[in-house]
Each structure stands twice: as structure tokens, then as C-alpha cells.
Structure 1
Amino acid sequence: MNRLAGVTSPYLLQHADNPVDWWPWGPEAFEEARRRDVPVLLSVGYSACHWCHVMAHESFEDEAVAAVINEHFVAVKVDREERPDVDAVYMEAVQAATGQGGWPMTVFLTPDAEPFYFGTYFPPAPRHGMPSFPQILQGVRGAWAERRDEVGEVAGRIVADLSARSVSETLAKGGQVPPGPEDLASALLALTRDFDAVHGGFGGAPKFPPSMALEFLLRHHARTESEAALQMVQATAEAMARGGIYDQLGGGFARYAVDATWTVPHFEKMLYDNALLCRTYAHLWRVTGSDLARRVAVETADFMVRELRTEEGGFASALDADSDDGSGKHVEGAYYVWTPEQLRAVLGEKDAAVAAHYFGVTEEGTFEEGASVLQLPDTDDLVDAERIASIKERLRAARDSRPRPGRDDKVVAAWNGLAIAALAETGAYFDRPDLVQAATDAADLLVRVHMDWQARLHRTSRDGVAGANSGVLEDYADVAEGFLALASVTGEGVWVDFAGLFLDTVIVHFTAEDGTLYDTADDAEQLIRRPQDPTDNATPSGWTAAAGALLSYAALTGSGPHREAAERALGVVKALSGRAPRFIGWGLAVAEAALDGPREVAVVGPDGDPATRALHRAALLGTAPGAVVALGAPGSDEVPLLKDRPLVDGRPAAYVCRHFTCERPTTDPEELGEKLRG
């Protein structure tokens, strides 16, 4: 066992028995490199990463390769999900130098942590014009020994270039004000140009679920009644739900599709994708009443609770792409794919033929070696629902007997915040109190384990024990977002109070004098550059997530400083709205809310009163962009929005406000619903 044996990261533990003498990230590793006068080999990945496993098996488990690494380098292994700051800084360098990025990320550093050579996956032998990993090691070793001055100059130039990069130029183009209607219309036009009208989604292969752009389009439709916006959401949502990227037996989405048709996924399942998509489909149902959207939202919520919930009440990070194929071989997608022969073995000839047609399983296969990923072509009129339900139940039972994919069971604060919001709202919309309770349990865990006595967040925990890594901006922002959604559903104002504590930290420790936001706190570990990225990746950027949570908190409390911070943060969205809307989708969604108010809804009535419940449900189902809801008994001032809101003629009432200026209250749920249409 190497130095990773005592860590808590499941990804690092996967490498604990490598012959490579790995070090975890920390000053000790760089001191060792300085003492030995050797470069640092930095390898960054995550537990559900298929190519990380491939490179580990081909190179890091190889005794001869390990011997070279151990003699000539200090090897440092980083879980990008635990240290997104380290990942962001060096990925920026990789992308700047090579024009592309990905994981595993392989970077060679000086003992001062300055990068000088970059790459991602390297094969064990030369392949397709790509040098082998042993060749890379030999070349770097030679450069370090024979051309040290040149290495130092390269590293110095790279660090200087990274340090000079700033969002200030981008921000200057938009000012420090939120986007206006014209900016949001430009974003819609740009998305329309990039829309795949045949298969849904945006761009070509590989194709990622565009959760944040879809949320913007839903809000834009609510505000403007744009049918084009709604049609893009509906087409994309249906294509994904019917494609192989969605697990047709167990619910939940894979991380992305390798093709443009959503047919073949990269099979890992991430908590963040499923939380975001669960909420998107629930919001689509709220607008359209679509049965498909309802089914997918509920199935995805059930998948998260069933497959990712930990014993402590949080949610694990991911399920692996690979699993044992039954012969001892670790194969991507083995748990999920089917051949016609396998269908026949479980279902018999007649039902297997029905299932093959219903799920698109062919003799040629849609994946590898004659296997097919289950899809849902438009065959709803093929057979009766009971027969399909029986087929799915038998296939699920058979699949449950297969070796399961590994689970990365660390709890990431930010992604649990996203899950809390999704589960709370899905539970409220579809009368599933068990989902609301799951959201509450996860929130309790974040407070008990991830939050310290100064209201600072730890990014991760495992087995109920907090990890050593400090929370980054997205942790504070997404947890605040989840807590505010939970407060709207449960009426428990304590979640608003906790969100306020986290957002105060954002203002004090993550905000620059010019109003821009950093991904790390001012008292965090100093890297070669303090990361600052406002664009969305697989999740909302910490920057735009913070803007959304700040805006919602201000709407519930009337706080001017939080509103002003949100508006300053949205300046970068204005600058990017027409140029890169796919990569600022959450910011555009927040801008829609800011433009609409957002509307503030105070529901006042006795707890448990059917009339109170009816008004509360109508408030939650309102489609006004980013509307916030506060629920309380008469005389409650737990949330400032509730203060001085009396009953009307002794009956429960709802007040719809903007900037704490309210319309005439109503006691009629239907009238409230009309007030909260976009």
C-alpha cells in the first residue's frame, strides 16, 4: 500500500495498492520533490471515469512504469471532485496549451507547482500518432536533467499567462448590471441556431444534457410565451428520455451520449446530472402537464434515493461506468446492455421479441459486441401497458443479479444541494412526502457534518466524517439554493437562516472589490492562480449559482446587499448572453428571474388547514421565473416576507409581491395560479 491507503476519497483509494508511490496533494509532496530535485507528476481524475481506469490498469499498475515514476518523479494523485480548485487551475493550463482537456489529466510540475508539460490520457504504447506514456516519462525526465533552464522558462511563462487571465475584460463588456430583455432574446436566438432540430439538444457529438440551458428556456417561455423556447425544451427532453442516455429500466441519466442521437451513453451516472435533470423535468411538467416529464422526474428522484443515498442520509457522488461482465472482466456498460439472446433467456421467445422491438434491441446491436443499449422508440401503441410493466419488472430483477457498478460514496456538499432542491420540489409537486423527507435528511447531514462552528463548509464527507478540503464557491451557492427550495416546500424558516449564513460567506470571502466572484475563498490554500470561472460546465458555475441564491434570498428577506451582489454577479451574464449561451445557461435563468422580480409569494394560514395547503400548492406550481415562496402561520415573522401578512376575513391568504410591494391578497388558489403565470 502507498500513501493513499489512509485517505477518504474512493478514487484515491482505487490507487492505494498501485506500485506507484503516490502522494496525496499537499505541501509534503512538493517538499519531497524539492528535496530530491525531481519534477512532480500530477494525475487528476475521478472514480467514475472510464479512461482513468484504463490508464491506471495499463500504466499505474505496471511494475516497470511504476519503477520509472518512483525513481524520477514525485507522483501526486488528485480526486477532481474533492479538489475542483486544483483541477480547474491545471485544466486551464492544459486547455490553453493543447486546445483540449479531459480526464485523466496528466501534468508535470516543478517543485514550486508550476506546470511545464501537459496531457490527458496516454497509452502504454504509441497509438494513432499519440506518444506512449513511457515515452512521455523519458522525454520529461531528459528535459528536466538536460534543459532545466528551458523548463523553468516555460513554466514561468505559463504561470504568467494564467495569472494575466481575468474575467474583468469580459465583465467590462457587459457592465455590472443584469441582462435586459434584448440580451435574453439574443441568447434565445443563439441557442436556436445551435439547436439540433432532428435529435434535440445542442451541437453534435458528444452530446451532454443541457439542463441549465433548458431551465433558461422554460423561464424565458414563461416570461415571453415564446413557443420556440418551449419547443426546444420539449424536443430535447423527449429525445433524452427515449434515448439510451436514460436508464429505461431503473431510471436516471448517464453523464453524456457519445453520439448526436442520445443512443450510446458514457455509462457513469453522476449525482449532479440526475439532480439537475430531475428538477428540469419536474419544471417541464409544471408548465405542460406532460406525462413523460412527470414519469422521468419521479423515476429519476427514485433512482437517486434508491441507488445514491448513503446510510447517513446524504447522496453519493456517482456510479461507475464499468462493471464486471460476469467473466471477471471489467467492461464499460456491462450492467446496462442487452443482447437478443439475453432477453430470450429472461423473458422467453414471445416476450423477448416484444421487448426487443419496444426497447430497440437488435441482432447487430447498438453498442459493442452485438449488445444494445435500451431505448424507447415511439412504440407506445405496440403492446398493452401491463405486458410492458411485466417485462420491465423481470428485466430489472435479472439485471439486479448482475455485478453492480462501483459507487463513489463520498458526499459532495454542492451536489447534495442540487439534490435537495430537486427532491424537495419533486416531492411537493407529485405528493411524495418521502422525497421531501429525503431532501430534509440530506440537509440535516450538511448542517451536522459539513458545517463547522463558523458556518464554513467542508466540501466532502464520507461515512459521516467530514473531509479535510474546504468548500468552494459552488458548495456555498448550491447548498444555499437547496436550502431555500426546501424552505419554500416545508415552510421551515431555519433553512433560510442557514442559507443566509452561507451567502454572507460568499459576500465576505469569495467576492472581489469589483463584485466579481472567485471559486475559492480568500483564506483558502493559495495555488499558482486563484480560479475564477463564471461559465457552466456539467453543473452551474459557482458564480451563477451564487447569483441565483443571492437573488432568491433577497426576495425572501428584503436584503438590499444580497440583491446588489446578485445584480453585480449577473454582469458577466450580460457580456456572454449572445456569444456563449450554452455555457452560461444558469446565469440566463437567474437573469430571467431578476427581470421578472422575482415574484415573492407569502402564504399565510394555520398549519394543516386544507385551504392553506391548497394555496401553498398553487404557489409552488406557479411558473413565474424564479418565484420564491414563504409559508407560515398567522403572525409568523420567521421569514421577513411573512411579516405583517394577516389572514383575510379569517381565511388563509396568499400575497404576491415584487420588491416587497404586494398586490391585493387572495384566498382563491385558482386566482393565485393566474397571478403566478409567467
Structure 2
Amino acid sequence: MNRLAKETSPYLLQHAHNPVDWYPWGEEALQKAKAEDKPILVSIGYAACHWCHVMERESFENEATARIMNEHFINIKIDREERPDLDHIYMDAVQAMTGSGGWPLNVFLTPDKLPFYGGTYFPPVKAFNRASWTDVLLALAQAFQERREDLETQAQNMRDHLVQASGFGTQAVDLDLVPREELFTRAQCDTIYNNIMQQSDKIWGGFGSAPKFPGTFNIQYLLRYHHSFNEPKALNQALLSLDKMIQGGIYDQLGGGFARYSTDAKWLAPHFEKMLYDNALLVDVMSEAYQLTGNELYAKTIADTLGFVEREMTDAGGGFYSALDADSEGVEGKFYTWSKEEIEEILGEDAALFCAYYDVSEEGNWEETNILWVTKPLAVVAEAHGLPPEALEQMLVTSREKLMAVRSKRIRPGLDDKIILGWNALMVHACCRAYAALGVERYRDMGINAMKFCLRNLQNVDKQSFFHTFKGGIAKYPAFLDDYAWLVRALIALQEVTGDAEWLDHAKALTSYVVANFSDEGDIYFYYTQAGQTDVIVRKKEVYDGATPSGNAVMAANLLYLSVVYDRKDWSDRGIAMLAGQAQTAVRYSTSFGVWAGILLQSVKGVREIAVVGSEYKSRMQDTNRHYIPFKVLLGAVTDQPGIPLLEQRERPGETLIYVCEHYHCIKPVNYIEEIINLK
């Protein structure tokens, strides 16, 4: 047993029994590398990662391979979800070296933590045009002995490259010289729309080809663009993407919830791990789609997805777990797939119809087994079998329940039960959005309970700062920019659905903390790590919207929102400066900067400031929430609230009034939101 046995991360614990002398990242390993003057091997992955398991099985559990690693290197295992800061740095380095990245990420460092070589998966013997892992180890050990100076020069150059990559944004746009209407324009929004549509798959939905990720930020932009400028093609592409995912194998047709991505363009064959953040972001965008269309398919999928999260990914205290593994019993997807024979045995005479609907065959639709997915509309299948659609739907409901009962007895995929602050914040936001759209109180309660869990277990004793992760009663690692940005965003959403101002007070305090501890030298953007962290070789600034939204993009949106609430011109100016610095990039690389693109669209369309004051303010806020008003600030109170301009001098005895304003100038107040039309 190696040093990982004392860790709490499920991923690190998976490697605790390897013959490799693994260390967690920390002073003990880093000092040992210096004392013994050895290169460091850092291997980064996560608990739900299929190829991480493969490399462990093939190489890290092999005694002979472990001997080579132990003799020549100080070996460090990192859970990328625990230390995204380190993952970002070393992933960027490997991508710069090789042109690609992924997990497992294996990177070799000098004793000063500087990267000089790296790659992803290496096979145990030469294959797939990749050198074997042992060949790589021996070659690098020899190079470190014989060409040390060359490697250190290479490593220093890489560090300089990483520093330079985060050197943007120190010069702000002079907002007094350039009018806001010239900074952000309808033409930019149109170009972003056209760029997204060029990347769109018009048959199967989504963006690009295989492997295909959900692309929620692009879908959200298309929904909002349609709402803003009445462009049906944008709406159709957004809904096509959602519908095809919901019908696909990427969606768990029995248990709800989405896998991380599809390995094919048709959404049939997922990489089966289920991540908390994907499900949060998809619930977010489905909530908007429901508000816009009223399509019950989205309401049902939200219900089933949040049902899955509640059932399989929620801690007894209310926090949300991180992920479910792709593998069970060492086989990818085994928990989720079916043979036709199994289904016939379970469903009897209903099997033929069930198999026709879900594309189940004798030979299988994926690796000689079957992934359940929908290839034809229910009405078409019902007509082909001479049934009313309602009868088919009822049979499918009963059949799914029977299969779920059998599936629940299978050996389950591994659960990564650590609780990550930022990912919990994303799911809290999703719960709020689902409640806003559908009015199901359980969704709001899930969000409130998870936020209370985070405040109780991940907040530092100083009541200002937070930890990034929590497991086994232990909170670890200072929180990162993403954690804080997403947390502020979730707190804002909680106020909108509860009407409780305390959530906004938390959001304001946290924003001040981020400004004080994460700001770059130009006081425009924010570093990923807070000031004073010493174990990273560079402080990076992240602006790219990847699988999760950029912390900088979300902070820009937070600053703009809270600047309206608290009349903070400094926050408004900073949010605009952040957006101005990324607008051109968002236009040019639209599918990679979707959150920035959405903020740009909001800046062009303007924000509706909605204040509800009176004894019935909470119910009127919820009435407002059900409407699709994507660019809004929504506040409420029983009486006037000094210090919050939107809630000052609004109270009228005996009435609950809704004020709709822009730049604090309000139209005539109304009693019900339905009295005001065209709230775009």
C-alpha cells in the first residue's frame, strides 16, 4: 500500500494498492524530488475516467513497470477534480508539446515542477502509433541523466509560454471614449449566430462531428438569439440538439441523466460516465427551452434528470456527488446495456414492441449488445403496430419500470462521492432554473439544501473564503475562481426563486472577496488561483468556455448583475471591460466562447430590471419566473429597501406591485406580470 491510502479522493484511493510508490501532490513529494534530484512523474485523471482505469490495469498494477517508475521518478497522482489548477497548467503544457490532450494525463517535470515532456494514454507495448509506457520511462530517465541542461532549458521555455498565455487583459478599453452601443453590436450577435450555425449538425443536432459533446452554451445562445431577434432557424437548431440528445443513448432512457459525451455523431454510444456538471448545464438549458416552447418533453426530462440526481448523486446532508463511473465489473457501459434475450425474459409479450421502439436487436446496436435509444417518433411506432399512442406510452412506462427493477440489482458503476463546491453551485443554479420554469417546489428545495450544505461544510472559519472539495468530513484545498464565480451565480438564482435577500448579501460579500484575492495586475480579469498559493508554477487566467463555463465569463455576468442591484458603477465598468476584451474572440470562435457570446447578446438587447414590492411579492416573483425573460434582474421585498435602488420608494400600502425598469427608470407599475407584454 502506498501513500495514497490516507487520501479521501476516490480516484487516488483506486491507486492506493498499486506497486507504484505514489505520492499525493504536496510538500513531501516535491521536497523528495529536490533532495534526491529526480524528475517528477505527475499522472492526472479522475474516478470516472475509462482510459485511466485501463492504464492503471495495464501499467500501474504491473510489478516490473512499477519498479522502473519507483527507481527513476518521484511519482505523484492527482485527481483533476480536486486540483483543477494543476490540471489546467500541465494540460496546457502537454497540448503545447503534442497538439492534443486528455486523461489520463502523464507529464514529466524537473524537480522544480517545470514540465519537459508529456502525453496521455501510453500502452504497455508499442501500439496505436504510440511508444510503450516502459520505453517512454526508460528514455526519459536516460535523457534526464545525459541531457539534463537541454531538458531544463525546454522546461523553462514552456513555463515562459504558459506565463505569456495568461498575459492578456492588462489594458482596459477606455469606456469614456467608446460608447457602449459601439462596443457591442447587433452585427456581432448575427456573426456569432452564423458561426454557430455553420458548426451545427442539421440532421442529428449538436455541433461538429464525433466525438460530440452537449454544447449547452451554444444551444442557450440560439434560444436567446431567437427570442431576441425572432429567428426560427436558431430555435429549430437548438431544439433539434436537445431532442436528439434526449432520444439518444447519451441519455439514460431508464434512469434519467446524461452521460458526458457521445462517441458518435448520432448520440447513440456515450462514454458512459455521468458527471454532475453536464446534468446541471443540461437542466439549465432545458428549463429555458420549456419556458420558450411549453414542450412537455423538456419538463419530463428535467424531472427524470433531477430524479436521477436526487436518487443517485445526493448526499444525506443535501450536497451533490461528483460523478458515476463509465465502467462496472471492468466493462464500459455494462450497467446500462441489454441483450435482446434479457429484455424478452423480463418483458415477455411486450418485449417485441419495446425492442422496436428502443432499437434493440439480436446482434446489438453497439459492441454486440444494445444501448436503448429512440429512432422513430412514438406515434409512428404506435401506428405501425396498430396501437393508440397512449397505449404504447403506458406499455413503455411499465416496461421501463420492470427493467429498472432488474438493473438496480446489477453491480453498480463506481460512485465518486466527493462534493465539489463549484459543481454543486452549478446544480443549485439548475435546480433554481427548473423551479422557475416548472414551479415544482422539490427542485427549489434541492437547491436550498445543497447551498446550505456548502455553507455549512465548505466555508472556512473566517466566514469569507471557501474550500474546493469535501469528503469524509474533511474540506480540502482553497477554492478556485470557478468555485466562487459559480457560487455567486447560484446565490443570485436562489434569491430570484425564494425572494430571500440573504442570498444576495452572500453573493455581494463573495464578489468583494474575489475582487480582493483573484484580480490580475490590470484589475480587469481574474486569476484561476487566489493570491498567496505557492505550489503552482504560474497563475493562469482562464477565459475559454469548455465543458463548464469560464470563471471569468461568469464573474463578468455576476458583476454586471450585482452592479444593478447595489448601484456599483465600479463593478459595472469592470464587467463591461472584461466583455470588451473578449468580444472579438467570442465573435471569431463562437462555439468555444458561448457564455461570453451570451453576455454580449445581453449587452445589445439590454437588461430588464424587475422589482416586486408588497406582501405577495414571493408569489408574484414566481409568476414572473415562469415567463422566458433571459436578460433580467429580479428583486423582491415586502417593503422599501434603502440601499437597493430598485427597491427604494416602491411601496404602496395594501398593494403588491411589479415595476419593470431599465437603468432604474421604470414604466407604470402593474399588479401582475401578464399585464406587461413584449418583455424581451
TM category (shorter chain) comes to over 0.9
Instruction: State which drifts further: 389-398 or 452-461.
Output: 452-461
1:51 and 2:51 aligned? yes
Distance 1:639 1:372 in 2: 57
Contact 2:499 2:618 survives alignment (8 Å): no
Q: Is the CA contact 1:171–1:575 (under 8 Å) kept in the aligned structure 2?
A: no
| Larger RCO of the pair (alpha carbons < 8 Å, separation 6+) | 1
Determine the structure 1 residue equivalent to 2:340.
340
Alpha-carbon distance between aligned partners in 2 of 1:393 and 1:501, rounded to the nearest angstrom = 47
How many angstroms does 1:428 deviate by? 3.5
Match of residue 378 from structure 1: 376
Match for 2:208 among 190, 194, 203?
203
Q: Does 1:361 align with 2:366?
A: no
> In 2, are the aligned partners of 1:596 and 1:624 still within 8 Å (CA)?
no
Match among 384, 395, 400 for residue 392 of structure 1: 400
Which amino acid is the alignment partner of residue 361 of structure 1? V
Deviates more, 1:596-605 or 1:435-444: 596-605
Residues 437, 191 of structure 1: alpha-carbon distance in 2 compared, 3 angstrom cutoff: same
C-alpha offsets along residues 81-115 of structure 1, whole Å, 9 cap, x if unaligned?
Answer: 11111000110011111010000000010100011
1:485 correspondence with 2:483: no
Residue number in structure 2 paired with 1:65: 65
Q: Could you tell me how far apart the structure 1 residues matched to 2:473 and 2:665 are?
A: 44
Matching residue of 2:219: 214
Q: Bigger CA drift: 501-510 or 170-179? A: 170-179
CA distance in 2, matches of 1:675, 1:620: 15
| Counterpart in the other structure of 1:117 | 117
**Counterpart residue number, 2:166:** 166
Q: What is aligned with 1:420?
A: 428
What is the RMSD computed on CA atoms of the aligned residues?
1.9
Moved more, 145-154 or 82-91: 145-154
Aligned to 2:242: 237
Contact preservation (8 Å) 2:609, 2:660: yes
User: Retained in 2: the 8 A contact 1:187–1:581?
Assistant: yes
Counterpart secondary structure, 2:312? helix
**One-letter identity of the residue aligned with 1:541:** S
2:271 maps to what in 1? Answer: 266
**In 1, distance between residues paired with 2:235 and 2:171?**
30
1:173 Cα deviation after fit: 10
Q: Is the Cα–Cα contact under 8 Å of residues 496 and 634 in structure 2 kept in the other structure?
A: yes
Could you say which residue in structure 1 is the equivalent of 2:626? 621
Q: Aligned pair 1:311/2:316, yes or no?
A: yes
Deviation, 1:669, is 3.1
Query: CA offset at residue 549 of structure 1?
Result: 1.8
CA deviation map 1:477-508 (0-9, x unaligned): 00111111011000111111111111112222
Residue by residue over 1:555-604, the C-alpha shift from the partner in whole angstroms, topping out at 9 and shown as x without a partner, is: 32222222222112212331212221111111111222233332111112
Instruction: State whether residues 656 and 665 of structure 1, in contact with CA within 8 Å, keep that contact through their aligned partners in structure 2.
Output: yes
Structure 2 counterpart SS, 1:250: coil
Give 1:640 deviation, angstroms.
5.1
Q: Give the letter for the 1:665 counterpart.
A: P
How far off its partner does 1:415 sit?
0.8
Preserved CA contact (<8 Å) 1:416 1:442: yes
Within 5 Å, which residues of 2 pair with 1:235-634?
Answer: 235-324=240-329, 330-348=330-348, 350-368=349-367, 370-381=368-379, 382=382, 384=391, 385-452=393-460, 453-467=462-476, 469-514=477-522, 515-606=524-615, 609=616, 612=617, 615-634=620-639
Distance change in 2, residues 1:171/1:401 (3 Å): farther
| Distance in structure 2 (CA, Å) of the matches to 1:174 and 1:232 | 37
Question: Alpha-carbon deviation of 1:302?
Answer: 1.6
Is structure 2 residue 178 aligned with structure 1 residue 179?
no
Kindly state the Cα deviation for residue 42 of structure 1 after the two structures are TM-superposed: 0.4
One-letter code of the match for 1:615? R
SS of equivalent to 1:107: strand
In structure 2, the CA distance between the partners of 1:466 and 1:511, relative to structure 1 (3 Å rule), is: same
- Gapped regions of structure 1 (runs ≥ 5): 325-329
Deviations 1:450-491 (A, max 9, x none): 122141111111134311x11111100001111110110001
Contact 1:97 1:118 in 2 (8 A): yes
8 Å CA contact 1:223–1:625 kept in 2: the answer is no
> Contact 1:45–1:78 (CA<8 Å) still a contact in 2?
yes
Task: Output the amino acid matched with 1:421.
Answer: H
User: What residue is the counterpart of 2:662 in the other structure?
Assistant: 658
Q: Secondary structure at the match of 1:578?
A: helix
In 2, Cα distance between equivalents of 1:167 and 1:173? 16
The code of the aligned residue for 2:282 comes to L
Stretch deviating more after TM superposition (123-132 or 376-385): 376-385
CA 1:422–1:456: 2 relative to 1, 3 Å: same
Deviations along 1:412-432, whole A, 9 cap, x unmatched?
111111111111221233232
**TM-superposed deviation, 1:400:** 0.7
2:9 aligned partner = 9
Moved more, 134-143 or 420-429: 420-429
Q: SS of the counterpart of 2:145?
A: helix
Identity within the alignment, %: 38
CA distance in 1, matches of 2:639, 2:158: 61
TM-score by length of 2: 0.94
- Cα displacement (A) at 1:378: 2.4
Q: State the 1:675 CA deviation.
A: 4.7
Cα offsets for 1:27-72 (capped at 9, x unmatched): 2212101111211000001111100111011111111111111111
1:81 alignment partner in structure 2: 81
CA distance in structure 1 between the aligned counterparts of 2:607 and 2:533, rounded to whole angstroms: 33
One-letter amino acid matched to 1:620: N
Aligned twin of 1:327: none
Work out the CA distance in 2 between the residues paired with 1:217 and 1:65: 50
Return the offset for 1:169: 7.4
Shift of 1:254: 0.2
Q: Structure 1 stretch 524-533 or stretch 580-589: which is displaced more?
A: 524-533
Q: In 1, are the aligned partners of 2:288 and 2:437 still within 8 Å (CA)?
A: no
CA-CA distance at 1:638 after TM superposition? 8.6
Amino acid aligned to 1:123 = P
The answer to whether the Cα contact below 8 Å between 1:417 and 1:479 also exists between their aligned partners in 2 is yes
Q: Secondary structure at the match of 1:123?
A: coil
Which runs of structure 2 are paired with 1:634-645 in the superposition (5 Å)? 634-636=639-641, 641-645=646-650
SS of 1:93 mapped into structure 2: helix
**TM-score, normalised with respect to structure 1:** 0.94
Question: How many Å apart are 1:172 and its aligned residue?
Answer: 8.2
Q: Which SS does the other structure have where 2:157 is aligned?
A: helix
Q: Cα gap change, 1:494/1:192 in structure 2, threshold over 3 Å: closer, same or farther? A: same
Q: Which position in structure 2 is the counterpart of 1:107? A: 107
Is the alpha carbon distance of 1:158 and 1:247 closer, same or farther for their aligned partners in structure 2, counting shifts above 3 Å? Answer: same
In structure 2, C-alpha distance between the alignment counterparts of 1:211 and 1:127, rounded to whole Å: 36
| SS in structure 2 of the partner of residue 497 of structure 1 | helix
C-alpha deviation, 1:164, in angstroms: 2.2
Q: Distance in 2 between matches of 1:526 and 1:32?
A: 15
Cα 1:530–1:360, aligned 2, differ >3 Å: closer, same or farther?
A: same
Unaligned runs of 5+ in 2: none
Whole-angstrom CA distance in 2 between matches of 1:199 and 1:141: 48
Distance 1:20 1:638, change over 3 A: farther
Q: Secondary structure at the match of 1:34?
A: helix
CA distance in 1, matches of 2:669, 2:639: 14
SS in 1 for 2:627: coil
Give the superposition deviation at 1:303: 1.5
Q: Compared with structure 1, are the counterparts of its residues 169 and 510 closer, same or farther at alpha carbon in structure 2 (3 Å cutoff)?
A: closer
In 2, Cα distance between the equivalents of 1:226 and 1:630? Answer: 30
Q: Deviations over 1:332-375 (max 9, x none)?
A: 00111111111112111x2111111111112222221x211111
Is the counterpart of residue 228 in structure 1 residue 233 in structure 2?
yes
Q: Answer yes or no: is the 8 Å Cα contact 2:104–2:120 preserved in 1.
A: yes
Kindly indicate whether the alpha-carbon contact (under 8 Å) linking 1:507 and 1:565 is maintained by their aligned counterparts in 2. no
Give the corresponding residue for 1:26.
Answer: 26
Count of aligned positions: 663
Query: Aligned with 2:536: secondary structure?
Result: coil
Once the 2 structures are TM-superposed, how far is the Cα of residue 231 of structure 1 from its aligned partner? 1.4
